[in-house]
Each structure stands twice: as structure tokens, then as C-alpha cells.
Chains A and B, each alone.
Chain A
Amino acid sequence: MMKISRRGLLTTGAAAGVLAASGLPLRAQAKKGGRLRAGLSGANTSDSWDARTHSDLFMIASAQGSVFDSLTEIAADGTLKGELAESWEASPDAKTWTFNLRPGVTFHNGKSFGADDVIESLQMHVAEGAKSAAKPIVEPIVEMKKTGDLQVQLVLKDGNADLPYLLSDYHILMYPAGQIEEAIAKGIGTGLYQVQSFEPGVRMVATRYADHYKGDAAGFFDEIEYIAINDNTARMNALMTGQVDAINRIDFKTEALLKANPMIRIQEVTGNQHYIFPMLTDVAPFSDVNVRKALKYGINRQEMVDKILQGHGKVGNDSPIGPANQYYQEMEQLAYDPDKAKFHLKEAGLDSLDIDLSASSAAFEGAVDAAQLFQASAKAGGININVVQEPADGYWSNVWLKKPFCASYWSGRATEDWMFSTAYAEGAPWNDSHWGSEQSPRFQELLVSARAELDSAKRREQYGEMQMILRDEGGVLVPMFANYVQAVSSKVANPDTVGNLWQMDNARMAERWWMA
């Protein structure tokens, strides 16, 4: 049998599910009862139950994770399953989708759930003047039809095989039709927990909804209490002193202190969040593929994982597709090799290369240090990087997408198409390497054909090739994937597999965990 060490698991990416805790894995049966108290960051006084505005953990865990449901759900192991939709099917061109809804579902105010609720909840995102982060997902739906009390048909402008995946997005929650304003004001959903009190930016308390359709299979706590703790140290203190049972986002510098406490275990998963150095591939010298290759060999990825992430991450391979994606491709790892960097510079007709690299802590924590590590490693390959330290304020408006070479990050996307369409499609507004058909016509072709491909094996092949192209010729250096690291008290148990799409078991700990 192959022996897999913890680090090995990380670097090979075999850890699609969970990466272990510091103690023994928990195999106990889930049991009901108790109160989950979690200290979570990412809360604001302007928070509300309007999912269109959600952007950080506190509200995602409160809304999609507890009080509301979506049509579909990504399970902890990364597979797609129905939540309020029981089943779905697509026409062969992936343009027309029919969703069959779960019968017998009620909102917390007693109203029963049906096709009208789906249509109105989707239309919220494209209503006149509405600001929704999920608009790009809902906008291509040109027609929403009620074909039965429990059936809706969605017609897309162009075929998209990922639609059921996209509908699991945390912005797209199901609200009761005709009562949406009230539902947003009070928090009325179909979720496992019913709101008892909600103070924006301070605290949320909810109790188990008795007649929930998920029954005994999920939602084991009697009550949940989410406390907003944005300060890292306060969050850690709260866990150490037993005032909360779980916290998100651990400060790596103090992680050792948490590990030393036998009552606490650390959960660590590698998801899609990645740190990058994009270069504009239509600007010299980056327009030369050999220059890009020289840079790929001039960067020491392992050193960055060790020093910037202090080991809490996975080496990147210049593709934005991470272990939490369906069609993540294992490829031969690009390695630091100054001789090869020199070779490719020569191919480009250069003896040495002088470039500016813009960085700021706004890009990601430690971005300036990472740029300096890059500077040091590239020097051996004949590449002279001048690190330009930019101010954090206005970094995204003044530096990113403007300067030819800079530091940045992506939190990743649930599907390959979504990620590629956002940042690698020709002409996309956030295409931070100006990647287009001039650089790789094949890539853009594959992007379009894979989108409407319903055959999973064929899609895997196509997305695999696209990841390969980016690794070999792409204009974005992806040196590392950063882990989600969180800590849980021994009073709370969790399944062996913990979701890696988002922090805290995809923000669904209220649904999936139980009191030990």
C-alpha cells in the first residue's frame, strides 16, 4: 500500500476532501442535541438576510449554511447533489434545463415551497437596479417557465453544462415568492434552522426547524449561536477559554499554541484559493512565450509555500484549477530550474531580463515578501526583478489589470468554466493576463466547446488540456494554493470528510457537525 504523509497528501492534491486534524479521526455516529457556538470573522453592521449582498463567512454560514437553502448543494466530497431540487435534466445542447423540486417543503412561516418561489428568487438577481454578485450566473437565463407546481424550466442563451453547479452559489437562495422583502427583513427560509435573533455584525441565534425535510440526516444541533469576532486574537482566545466551540481562519503565527491544547483540533483543507503573479501577455516582453517560460522556471514555488504560507498550502502549477474543482488535473510539477530559465531567455534572444513587479499586502498577505523571494530566485536565472511596493489603498483600481506584472489572488470558483470565463476568456473584464486567441487559439476554442459538453469524460479531457496549456504557456504564475485552516473544540465532532470549497466545511457546519 502506498504510504501518504500529510505533506505528501497536500502536494499531490489527493486531499480533495479533508486533511486531517491533529488528533485521531472521528468516527462516532452523529447524535442529536446541544448548542453549537462558533466565533466567525467577516461580519459587518450592514449585514442583512439579502443574499445578493453576501460576501464573507459570517453571513454565508448564517444564510446558506443554516437558515436558507439553494436548489443544489456541493457535498463535502465535492459532488453535486440536490437540495431543494430533487432532480434535473438538460436538453442535448445544454440550453434547456428542467428542475424537479422537492415536494412537501415549507418555509419557516408555514408557506409551502414551489415553482413560483424559484422563479422569483432567481429574478431578484436581475431585477432593475438590483446589485447582485450572482448576476453573471442568472443573466444568461433568458426564460424561466413554471411547468408544474414543482417543476421549472430554465432556458439559457448559450449551452452551459455547469448550470446545476452554478445554482449552488451562496448568493442564490430560495425566498418565499411574494414575501421576499419580509423574508429578507426577518430571515425566513427553508433551512435547517429558524432565526431566533440576529444583530448584524454582532450575533445570530437560530433553533432547529422541527419539520425539516432533511430529517435525521443533517442539522444535529438543537440550537446554533454564531458570534461575530473579526479580530484574530479575540477569536483564538474565545476558543481557548471555551466560550466558543469552533473558529474560522487561524493565524499561522499562533497556530502552535492552539495545537498544544489537547481540547482543540486543527482542521485544514486545500481548496481553490490561490495567490498569483499575472503578467499582461500582450505587452513586451511578456508577449514572448519564452520570456513567460523563463519566469516559470525562475520562481521557487515550494519555497513560497514554506515561507509565505508556512506550509499551509499546496504548490501551484500555473493553472487556477484547484483540488476543490471537479476536473482538477494532476500534471507534472513545474520546478525551480535557473538553467532552464536562462535557456528560455536565450531562446527569446535575451542575455538577461529587467522587469518591474508590483506588489502590496492588498494582493494577499505576504505578497511583498513573496515578490522578494521571487526576485532572489529569479536572479540565478538571469532575470532581474525590481520589486515595486505599491500602496494597499486603491491597489485593485490602480495596479491590478493596469501594471504589466503584479501580485494578486483569486478565491477560486466552483467550476472550471466559471474560473476560466472570469479570468482567462478573451476580452473578459477581469482577464488579468490579457489571455486571448492571439496567445492560444486552442484554449479559447476549448473554453467554448467544453462549456456545453454534457459528456463528463470528454469534458475532463478538454479541461485537462486547457490546464496543460496554461501550465506551459500561460501568463499567470500560480505559485501556491492557500489552505483554509480552522480550529474546533473536542466538544464538537465532524465527519471524516470536510468540504474544501469554503471555510468551515463549506460554511455548513451547522448542518454537518454534531456535539461529541
Chain B
Amino acid sequence: MHPVLKIILQRLALGLLTLFIVSIVIFTAVNMLPGDFAQAILGQSATPEAVAAIRRDLGLDQPYVVRYFGWLTDMLQGNLGISYAQLNFQSNMGGQNLKTVADQIAPRFANTMFLAGVAAVIAVPFAVTLGVLAALYRNSAFDKAVNVGTLTSISSPEFFLAYILVLFLAVLNPLLPSIANIYQGISLADRLTATLLPALTLTLVVTAHMMRMTRAAIINLLASPYIEMARLKGVSPFRIIVKHALPNAWAPIINVIALNLAYLITGVVVVEVVFNYPGIGQLFVDAVKNRDIPVVQACCLIFAAAYILLNLAADILSMLANPRLRHPK
């Protein structure tokens, strides 16, 4: 078997184990929160009888372990279940027309992926270019300005960056909408316009990390003998960096890019709330608030899977970027 394929399979198996552990941790954590779905949904109407009735209908009165394995069995059959909020009213409709968790999450997840995609398309080339330029003009005023700028943006809370962008691009200069009004059947142009502000906010958050890694990896290589050789040959500094240094610097850069892409998917909660973006993050917050465990579990598994897969992709890409690893003796 090809060593790369072997590693992929190994890592996928480990990833499944990780997902299993994550599901236990999340299930336990949500159970440890004070209050449960019945109390959260009833609010002031939470009389002991009403709470008991909902717990009985939804099986919340079962012991914790029984509920977990019930969920796990469904999950292994590819069934993410039905959210408690839907289940609570199933008797109204005789159990028909109930939306499953998968139905609820699918459109939201697509929106979140779209936002992450737009942010990545802007952020990755932007960060890598800045990093290359910073390495090229290292220790110049440009280098310092880029460093200060990106570090400032990564150090500010996301909602603050978001509001700054809203202030300058939506309120003072009405160029972009301040809330992302996205719906089914929206045209691509409208969708891009609505997504731009949240995507720019995410770009500001992830740029620093990728830019600094690019810069550091390249500068690190600039002391190597082969770069010295290139310089003695009379190759231009730009060509040295792009043709000679960058190919060998890809491995660490790809790793950081993958980590940040994972963040674009899982770290969007705050940005989605600020821009009212109908993605998975808002759904997740509501589900935690209502202790709606099936939805919380499904969201967490998606987040965890995104991390695992992107990390796996990073490892494989950095391996493919390295001829020594690509063709082991």
C-alpha cells in the first residue's frame, strides 16, 4: 500500500475515535449545565407537571447512559435524530412532517461553508502575499506596518472588528449591508454582497497567523546555503523568495492555513450573531440555550469533523509538498 494512503486510513480511523470521544464530552457537558430542555422551553410555565410531561414525552427521564447510547445507536445508522423543539410538538401533527436535525442543519451549514469559502478566498492569498512581501522587505517600515496591523486585528475581539467594519462600510459609507439577509433562492451577486462584511471580519481575524508563519518560514530558509548560492548567481531577491525559498516553506504554511480554515468554519459563532448571518453558529447558540442536545451534538460533530479533516488534509499536503516524504526510500 502506498504510504500516503496508509497514513490517510490511519488518520481517518483516529479521527473517528476522536469524534466518538467528542460526542461523549459534549453529551456530558450539556447534561452538567443547570436546567434541561423542559425547563428551558417552558420558562415561567415550568410547573412540575408540565416539566415531567415533556421529560416523559422526550425520554429525558431516562438515565443519562441510556440516552447517550440511544443517541449513539441512531447516529451509527446515519440518523442525527429530531430536535427536542420539534419533538415536543410532534403530538400536534400525529408525528408527521417533522424536520430532522439533518434537515435543519443542512441549509445553515451550506451558508456557513459559503461564508468560510469567501473568507478563505480573500484571506489566504492576501495573507500569503503579505507574508512574502514582508519577508522580501523584512525589517523595513512596510514589514513593521504589516506586522503591527495584522497583530492589532488578531488581538481585538471579533465583535469589535465587526462593529468597526459596520461603522465604516455600512453606517458612514453605506457600501455594504450591515446585516446579512440571506435566503433560499438569493442570486449569487446578492449573496456575495451580503456575505462580504462578515467575510472581511473573518479575514482580519485569521490573516495575522498565516502571514507571520509565511514570513517566518521564508526568512528561516534565507540563511540556507542554497539561497546563498542563488544570491551569488545574481538572482533577484523577489525570484529567490518565490522560486527558491517558497517551495520549501510550504509545509509549515499549509499547516497554519488548514488550522485557520478550520477556524473559519468553527469560529464563526460571534460573527454570525453580529451580522445576523443564518449559519450554523446561530443555530448552535440557540440549541445550547435550549439544551436541545440532538442539535448541539450534531453541530459539535460537524465542527470536530472539520478540524480533523482539515488537519488531515494539511498533513497530506505538506507531505506531498516534500519530495523526501513523497518518495520515501
Contacts and interface: CB of A to CB of B under 8 A. Distances in A.
A binds B: yes
Interface of A: 39, 44-46, 48, 50, 52-53, 124, 127, 129-132, 181, 184-185, 197, 199, 201-203, 205, 227-231, 233-235, 237-238, 240-243, 391, 393-394, 396-397, 400-401, 408-409, 429-430
Contacts of B83: 45-46
23 contacts: A39-B179, A44-B286, A45-B104, A50-B89, A50-B93, A53-B92, A127-B92, A131-B88, A131-B92, A132-B92, A201-B278, A203-B183, A205-B183, A227-B181, A227-B276, A234-B276, A240-B178, A243-B177, A243-B178, A391-B34, A396-B44, A396-B46, A397-B47
A203 B181 contact: yes
B274 A199 contact: no
Contact of B39 (A201, A241, A397): A397
Interface string B169-188: 01100100111011111000
Contact of B276 (A44, A53, A124, A229): A229
Contacts of A197: 183-185
Contact of B46 (A205, A230, A397): A397
B35 A240 contact: no
A45 B44 CA distance: 21
Contacts of A129: 91-92
A56 to B, nearest CB: 11
Interface in B151-182: 163, 166, 170-171, 174, 177-179, 181-182
A84 B42 CA distance: 31
B43 interface: yes
B48 interface: yes
A188 to B, nearest CB: 14
B72 interface: no
Given A53-B92, A229-B276, A391-B34, A181 B39 contact: no
B79 interface: no
Contacts of B178: 234, 237-238, 240-241, 243
B86 interface: yes
A237 B93 contact: no
B299 to A, nearest CB: 12
A408 B46 CA distance: 13
Given A199-B183, A238-B276, A243-B181, A184 B34 contact: no
A85 B89 CA distance: 29
B42 A396 contact: yes
Nearest to B44: A396
User: Chain B interface secondary structure, helix, strand, loop or mixed?
Assistant: helix
A356 to B, nearest CB: 21
B91 A131 contact: yes
A379 B46 CA distance: 33
B242 to A, nearest CB: 42
A109 to B, nearest CB: 17
B85 interface: yes
A201 B290 CA distance: 14
Contacts of B286: 44-45, 201
Contact of A184 (B93, B182, B278): B93
A181 B40 CA distance: 28
Nearest to A55: B43
B273 A234 contact: yes
A44 B85 contact: yes
Nearest to B33: A393
Contacts of A396: 39, 42-46
A350 B51 CA distance: 40
B140 interface: no
A409 B34 CA distance: 22
Given A199-B278, A235-B276, A237-B166, 8 more contacts: A52-B92, A53-B89, A131-B88, A181-B93, A199-B107, A231-B274, A240-B178, A241-B177
A411 to B, nearest CB: 9
Contact of A233 (B33, B39, B85, B274): B274
A231 B34 contact: no
Interface in B1-49: 33-35, 39-40, 42-48
A234 B274 contact: yes
A46 to B, nearest CB: 4
A393 B275 contact: no
B39 A393 contact: yes
A237 B181 contact: no
A179 B184 CA distance: 26
Interface of B: 33-35, 39-40, 42-48, 51, 83, 85-86, 88-89, 91-93, 96-97, 104, 107-108, 163, 166, 170-171, 174, 177-179, 181-185, 273-276, 278, 282-283, 286
Contacts of A430: 47
B181 A130 contact: no
A377 to B, nearest CB: 26
B272 to A, nearest CB: 10
A234 B88 contact: no
A53 B88 CA distance: 10
B216 to A, nearest CB: 37
A235 to B, nearest CB: 8
A2 B31 CA distance: 61
Contacts of B88: 131
Lowest 3 A-B CB distances belong to which pairs?
Answer: A46-B85, A393-B35, A129-B91
Contacts of A241: 166, 170-171, 174, 177-178
A394 B35 contact: yes
Nearest to B83: A46
Contacts of B39: 393-394, 396-397
Contacts of A240: 171, 178
Contacts of A235: 276
Contacts of B86: 46
A77 B96 CA distance: 41
A409 B39 CA distance: 17
Contacts of A234: 178-179, 273-276
B179 A227 contact: yes
B87 to A, nearest CB: 9
B182 to A, nearest CB: 8
Contacts of A53: 89, 92
Contacts of B46: 396-397
A420 B116 CA distance: 53
Contacts of B92: 50, 52-53, 124, 127, 129-132
Given A131-B91, A131-B92, A197-B185, A229 B179 contact: yes
B149 to A, nearest CB: 25
B51 A397 contact: yes
A199 B34 CA distance: 31
Given A199-B184, A429-B47, A237 B273 contact: no
Nearest to B274: A234
A390 to B, nearest CB: 11
A249 to B, nearest CB: 15
A135 B50 CA distance: 14
A132 to B, nearest CB: 8
Contacts of A227: 179, 181, 276
Nearest to B107: A199
Contacts of B51: 397
Contacts of B43: 396
B86 to A, nearest CB: 6
A181 B96 contact: yes
Contacts of B275: 234
A203 B48 CA distance: 35
Contacts of B278: 199, 201-202
A50 B47 CA distance: 23
A395 to B, nearest CB: 9
Nearest to A241: B178
Contacts of B44: 396, 400, 408-409
